[in-house]
Structure 1
């Protein structure tokens, strides 16, 4: 397969995942997750437009930064997300989870659209805050008598895959198609605003 074909596939996968995702209904106050198996955890990120968008955007931003950020930022997101999930499972309160999740979609979109070049450590701090909120929301939904660790393992794997799609798209696009990345960031921010105002 040619490099151009691989680029098109990566871009198409990102677009299809974003387009096929449903608005997020499984956050705090929106009902408990019916199953917490590994498969349910794996599927869950693909069912929320906010999750798909943020996780791909993390990958795109890491690809823009390059170097250590390509692995450090996605790893930080997954690690802190799991910590947030543990807090949610233990019912430790975290303020402004749902508004913070919606804000994360907008903020990450802007960071990608403007190709903001933060130091790796600062990027980890920004991404970590967002990941904490996403993780807490999902940890809060897992029934107390359910195997929450299996659910979070599935959720973590799906998250890494979505980060990987963003990285592949960001790294794969050559100079001629580099405008795709800021356009994707702008679309991410627009999705966040639309979710916040209930437009989608």
Structure 2
């Protein structure tokens, strides 16, 4: 626990110092491999998607499947909006806010019902999906590119679930300080992303 407490502030500062790369429009993004890599290139996406897994682990039960599935389903909706040229206002702000609010939900141990957690992550997933879809080049296969970024997102959710379980094992007396500190770190990183998006 002491190691986590010491490393967390350094990790948060390091994460906040990295540029958000997923929305630069640089480079090619074709097919399955490029679709898979795209979500991994943006700190905002990585943090939010791992955070979704943390929330699902925190709630437990069927939320472990339903919350990530809600994110994936609504991300597909957002991806179709973006790919068809339909924009959303304040996409980058919405994405940054997703990191802040998901982090706060974990840090404050909010007792969200599964349906409420699904609605929360689903709302933010539309912004994430729109950003992915809008950056898909015309020459790319929408199906393979889309499958790639869905697979990467599911993998990041699984990382969040695993992290949530691992941090939960450090719990003593029903409290999960390591999980709460991780949520606080997410929220703080999200604030940094939000400042950059405004």
Q: Which runs of 5+ in 1 are unaligned?
A: 1-7, 9-14
Deviations 1:36-87 (A, max 9, x none): 2211111122211111111111101111101111100001111111111011
Which residue pairs with 2:155 in the alignment? 161
The question of 1:26 aligning with 2:5 is answered: no
The question of 1:146 aligning with 2:144 is answered: no
Which residue pairs with 1:90 in the alignment? 84
What is the Cα deviation at residue 143 of structure 1?
A: 1.4
Q: How large is the RMSD of aligned CA atoms in angstroms?
A: 2.5
Which residue pairs with 1:181 in the alignment? 179
Which residue pairs with 1:129 in the alignment? 123
Which residue pairs with 2:74 in the alignment? 80
What is the Cα deviation at residue 32 of structure 1?
A: 5.6
Q: Of 38, 44, 67, which residue of structure 2 is paired with 1:50? A: 44
TM-score by length of 1: 0.83
Off by >4 Å, runs of 4+ in structure 1: none
Deviations 1:113-150 (A, max 9, x none): 01111111111111101000000011001112321221
**Does the CA-based 8 Å contact 2:29-2:38 persist in structure 1?**
no
Deviations 1:17-51 (A, max 9, x none): x95x9532332xx3265222211111122211111
Deviations 1:143-190 (A, max 9, x none): 123212211111111111111111112123312493111111111111
Which residue pairs with 1:195 in the alignment? 193
TM-score by length of 2: 0.84
Q: Which runs of 5+ in 2 are unaligned?
A: 5-10
Segment of structure 1 superposing worse, 128-137 or 162-171: 162-171
The 3-state SS of whatever aligns with 1:197 is helix
